[in-house]
Amino acid sequence: MVDFTKRAFIFDMDGTLVDNMRFHTEAWGKMLAENGVAMNAHDFLVRTAGKTNREILPNVFGALSDERIEELGNRKETLYQELFRPHRRPVAGAVEFLEEARRLGVRMAVATAAPEVNVEFILDGLDLRKYFAAVTTADDVARGKPDPEIFLKSAEKLGVEPAGCIVFEDALGGFEAARRAGMTAVGIATVNSVEEIMRLGSVAEAHPDFSGLSAQELIARRVPFSAVTN
C-alpha cells in the first residue's frame, strides 16, 4: 500500500494558486508614483518576484525605518487588493488538483513571500486554507526566495524530507529556491511561458495551469517511492 503522506506538495501562492502578478505590479506602480518614483513594470516584477516587502522597499527608497516600511507596504497591499478583488479566483484546475491530493493523503503547504494580510485575502477569501497543513509566509523567514529557507521550513512543518517534496512555482527565484532546497520544481506558466520556464528555470516540467494535471501521476513521475528512502 502506497503511503502518500510521505510525499508533500509545497505551493507558492501569488502567480501559482492565483493569477495575480499583474495586479501586484500595477499596485506597486501606483504606490511608487504616489511617492515620486517611476518604474518599469516588467523589470520591477523580474527583480522582486519572491521577495518580501522588507527586502523590496529599502532597495527602492534606501534606508527606511520599520514604521515606514510597514506604512508603504500596507499602502501597496491595499491597492493590490482593491485591484485584484473583482478578479480573485484560483488558477484553472487548482481546486480539482488540491482535492485529488487531499484524497490521496499528500501533505500540502503554502510557502509565500506575501504578508499575512494577503495570505488571508487569498486562502481564506477563496476557501483554500482547508487544503494546507502548513502555511509559511514572509513574516516567518529572514530571507526571501531564491533563498531556500521558506521551502525547507515548510517541509519541516509537514514532516517530509526535501527529496520527497514537489514545489509548484511561477517565478525563476522560486525555481532556484526549490533547487537549493533539494526539491523538485514544477512550473505554472502564469507570468512566463512554458517554454521560457523550461529554458530558464531549474524545473522538472511546466504547465499553463493545473488543468488535467494528476497528483498521483506527478508523484510517480517525479518523486516515485523507489527513488526516495522514506
Contact 109, 157 (CB under 8 A): yes
Residue that is written with C-alpha cell 485575502 in the block:
121
Catalytic residues, which ones?
12
Q: Is 2.40.50.140 the CATH number for 21-86?
A: no
Listed residue (52, 40, 60) closest to 14, CA to CA: 52
pTM for the model stands at: 0.91
Beginning with the edge strand found earlier in the chain, give each strand of the sheet holding 205-207 in spatial order: 134-136, 107-111, 8-11, 165-169, 184-188, 205-207
Range list for CATH 1.10.150.240 in the chain:
21-86
CATH fold of 4-19+90-222 reads Rossmann fold (3.40.50)
pLDDT tens, residue order, the chain (230 aa) = 678 999 999 999 999 999 999 999 999 999 999 999 988 877 787 778 778 888 899 988 999 999 999 999 999 999 999 999 999 999 999 999 999 999 999 999 999 999 999 999 999 999 999 999 999 998 899 888 999 999 999 999 999 999 999 999 999 999 999 999 999 999 999 999 999 999 987 899 999 999 999 999 999 999 987 655 45
Range list for CATH 3.40.50.1000 in the chain:
4-19+90-222
